[in-house]
């Protein structure tokens, strides 16, 4: 009977809407390095965050250090403090840390320990989000590609021994960084998030046991308390272990909060991802901020609700790290831009938007005694006068690896040990009349018969076939497959593979005898040793300019609007992808990639083949023209 009375009382409490206290905003405690501080759950019904026994409001902004030039980390943290926030939340991207040879790279933007320490130095707490899966519009949601070399790979599942072994190895490495930096150990980490949005995965092997395993792992290391980020429905909250705080992605209204309190009583509920903007895909409209998030923050500051702005500052998915979205069968493929600007209050190069100052005004008005510092100025940007790179080699003259085996069915790039980049598939097809070529190219393909360019296949548009011309003799069919990042959300992450997927047919007959060459594009591709016999009439090529800077470099945006589709390296650093379908036409190049004197800028374009490439210039800001409307969505749970 006591148990029943307690449950009735808890339900009544949840329905009353009392989930936080405005008094929590008065706790202005900041981290002091070496001084222990304990976050716990307490207050009426255990629904409040308590810091050293006093109600505490978490006011957080999400910044991913692996997306931000290291020289700008402190600037971004200081803008958050000046807004009135007291916490930085961030994902850790596993696949950027573990290298192909099994070694670990914690240097540069991967120096997670240094970022956490910098947050503490600036008086900011930390919400630590190590995954292993994180989503984040990042390639494969942060998971390493070696996990999906096999055709069937259940991820995020205790029944997959390979996954669990790899996950344990990763978490052991991350724990070495996190545990000494917990707030109870004198660091700034208030809470560790257990995984991410597991209730949205929708796989046949979803299980509470997986989340419980993660909780047990971290408890064994001495961590706690914990939280999960989930949608607000019953379906999404079915994997929340007892005693774990509930972060809603997002908490937009009181009804969502009440439902979470009903499902997970006795723990705090907060908005772990409030969206000030939204992600963007190639071919959509440009970045726009959300006005709804401003109203949400007004509510949080009125009632003392804890929150995290996702993202406060998005930064850039440099290299090949941008992910993609699709539905659960892989259709409706939507690759993410290189930019992760997101319409966030702090833009890609650290510029403070109009919305930044509106958020700041809301927060500071609610806490008159906060005494937040003035916002730091935006790091300077520079103009680089227009230059035209010269063609060095045709695409077909560049060195590729592989082609040592023959395959009946084309293998995926993952099965050959490659993550993204380019795959060049060739097979001999017989003489015959014009016929339909059918195949699944993940994600964009250029198709040739002999020397003749036939056309392209674009996965975004659902294109899986095209007409090949008639042939009076056998000919070489060549399919050059260019990739985007792996799907990072929903259970299709287990199935998304790159290259040619499954069998290829011509006129209904299967094409066999495939050979594959690969260009990983992790470095600038080099020419073949002997290019004398290479055809020079194919589309695409590698271009290069030496650009001399007479002053110390500053951030800039390379305007690629005259080019078609490809990749840009600056002094060996891969900025990422460009594509003239937009909306992003300029690639952010931080000052730390540049140097005073000569700078090598190299471009690999899949279509442009002129001897002199289109002009490129360095601009002081990113392009923001809106040529089509795309809504700044909230998270659309289904």
Residues annotated as catalytic (active site), given as ranges:
197, 273
Say if residues 89 and 129 touch (Cβ distance below 8 Å). Answer: yes
Place of tokens 């599942």: 157
Which letter does DSSP use for residue 555 in this model?
A: B
DSSP string computed for 300-337: HHHHT--EEEEEEE--B--TT-B-EE--TTS-S-EEBP
Contact (CB, 8 A) for 397 and 335: no
Structure-derived torsion over alpha carbons of residues 324, 328, 330, 334, reported in degrees to the nearest 10: -30
In angstroms, the CA 11 to CA 478 distance is 64
CA–CA gap between residue 485 and residue 584 (Å, rounded): 16
Q: Residue 449 and residue 447: Cα distance in Å, rounded?
A: 7
In angstroms, the Cα distances linking 400 to 11, 198, 538 are 64, 39, 16
Whether the CB-CB separation of 58 and 125 falls below 8 Å is answered with: yes
| Token output for 165 | 């072994």
Given a contact cutoff of 8 angstroms between Cβ atoms, the answer to whether 165 and 171 are in contact is: no
DSSP 348: T
Residue 108: Cβ within 10 Å count: 13
In order of 62, 141, 207, 337, the CA distances from 156 in angstroms are: 24, 11, 9, 26
Q: What is the 3-state secondary structure (H, E, C) of 472-509?
A: CCCEEEEEEEECCCCECCCHHHHCCCCEEEEEEEECCE
Q: Are 632 and 289 in contact (CB under 8 A)?
A: yes
Block residue for tokens 């071919």: 283
Structure tokens, 291: 């006005």
Instruction: Tell me whether the omega of the peptide bond preceding residue 144 falls within 30 degrees of 0, making it cis.
Output: no
Rg for the chain (alpha carbons), in Å? Answer: 26
Tell me how far apart the alpha carbons of residues 305 and 365 are, in angstroms, rounded to a whole number.
16
Q: Which of 584, 634, 587 is nearest to 281 (CA)?
A: 584
Separation of alpha carbons 133 and 192, rounded Å: 14
The helix/strand/coil state of 525 is: coil
Which is it for strands 87-91 and 125-129: parallel, antiparallel or unpaired?
A: parallel
Question: Cα(280)–Cα(584) distance, rounded to whole angstroms?
Answer: 9
Residue that is written with structure tokens 């199935």 in the block: 495
Answer whether 56's CB lies under 8 Å from 127's CB. no
């Amino acid at each position: 009977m006591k148990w029943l009375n307690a449950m009735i009382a808890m339900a009544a409490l949840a329905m009353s809407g009392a989930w936080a206290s405005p008094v929590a905003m008065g706790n202005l405690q900041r981290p002091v390095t070496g001084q222990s501080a304990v976050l716990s759950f307490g207050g009426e019904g255990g629904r409040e965050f308590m810091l050293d026994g006093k109600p505490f409001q978490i006011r957080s902004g999400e910044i991913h250090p692996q997306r931000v030039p290291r020289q700008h980390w402190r600037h971004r943290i200081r803008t958050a403090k000046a807004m009135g926030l007291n916490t930085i939340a961030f994902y850790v991207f596993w696949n950027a840390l573990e290298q192909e040879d099994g070694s670990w790279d914690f240097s540069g933007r991967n120096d997670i320990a240094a970022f956490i320490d910098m947050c503490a130095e600036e008086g900011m707490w930390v919400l630590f989000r190590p995954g292993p899966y994180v989503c984040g519009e990042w390639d494969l949601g942060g998971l390493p590609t070696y996990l999906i070399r096999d055709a069937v790979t259940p991820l995020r599942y205790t029944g997959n021994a390979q996954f669990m072994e790899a996950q344990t190895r990763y978490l052991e490495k991350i724990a070495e960084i996190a545990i000494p930096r917990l707030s109870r150990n004198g660091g700034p980490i208030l809470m560790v998030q257990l995984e991410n949005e597991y209730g949205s995965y929708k796989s046949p092997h979803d299980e509470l046991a997986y989340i419980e395993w993660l909780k047990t792992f971290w408890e064994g290391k001495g961590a706690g308390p914990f939280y999960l980020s989930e949608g607000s429905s019953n379906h999404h909250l079915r994997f929340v272990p007892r005693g774990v705080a509930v972060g809603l992605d997002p908490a937009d209204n009181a009804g969502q909060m009440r439902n979470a309190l009903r499902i997970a009583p006795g723990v705090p509920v907060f908005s772990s991802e409030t969206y000030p903007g939204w992600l963007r895909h190639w071919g959509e409209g440009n970045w726009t901020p959300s006005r709804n998030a401003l109203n949400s923050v007004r509510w949080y500051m009125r009632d003392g609700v804890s929150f995290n702005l996702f993202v406060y500052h998005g930064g850039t998915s440099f290299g090949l790290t941008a992910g993609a979205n699709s539905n659960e069968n892989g259709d409706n493929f939507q690759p993410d831009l290189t930019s992760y600007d997101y319409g966030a209050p702090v833009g890609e190069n650290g510029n403070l938007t109009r919305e930044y100052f509106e958020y700041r005004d809301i927060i500071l008005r609610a806490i008159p005694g906060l005494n937040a510092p003035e916002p730091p100025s935006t790091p300077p940007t520079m103009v680089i006068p227009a230059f035209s790179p010269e063609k060095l080699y045709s695409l077909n003259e560049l060195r590729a690896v592989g082609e040592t085996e023959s395959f009946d069915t084309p293998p995926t790039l993952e099965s050959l040990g490659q993550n993204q980049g380019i795959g060049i598939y060739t097979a001999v097809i017989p003489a015959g009349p014009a016929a339909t070529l059918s195949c699944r190219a993940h994600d964009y393909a250029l198709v040739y018969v002999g020397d003749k360019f036939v056309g392209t296949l674009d996965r975004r548009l659902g294109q899986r076939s095209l007409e090949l011309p008639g042939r009076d003799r056998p000919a070489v069919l060549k399919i050059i497959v260019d990739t985007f990042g792996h799907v990072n959300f929903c259970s299709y992450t287990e199935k998304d593979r790159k290259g040619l997927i499954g069998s290829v047919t011509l006129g209904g007959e299967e094409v066999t005898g495939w050979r594959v060459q690969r260009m990983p594009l992790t470095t600038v591709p080099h020419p073949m040793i002997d290019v004398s016999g290479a055809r020079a009439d194919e589309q695409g090529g590698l271009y290069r300019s030496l650009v001399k800077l007479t002053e110390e470099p500053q951030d800039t945006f390379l305007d690629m609007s005259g080019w078609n589709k490809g990749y840009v390296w600056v002094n060996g650093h891969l900025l990422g992808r460009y594509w003239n379908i937009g909306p992003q036409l300029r690639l952010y190049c931080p000052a730390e990639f540049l140097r005073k004197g000569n700078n090598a800028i190299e471009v690999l374009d899949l279509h442009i083949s002129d001897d002199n490439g289109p002009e490129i210039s360095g601009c002081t800001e990113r392009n923001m023209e809106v040529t089509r409307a795309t809504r700044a969505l909230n998270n659309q749970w289904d």
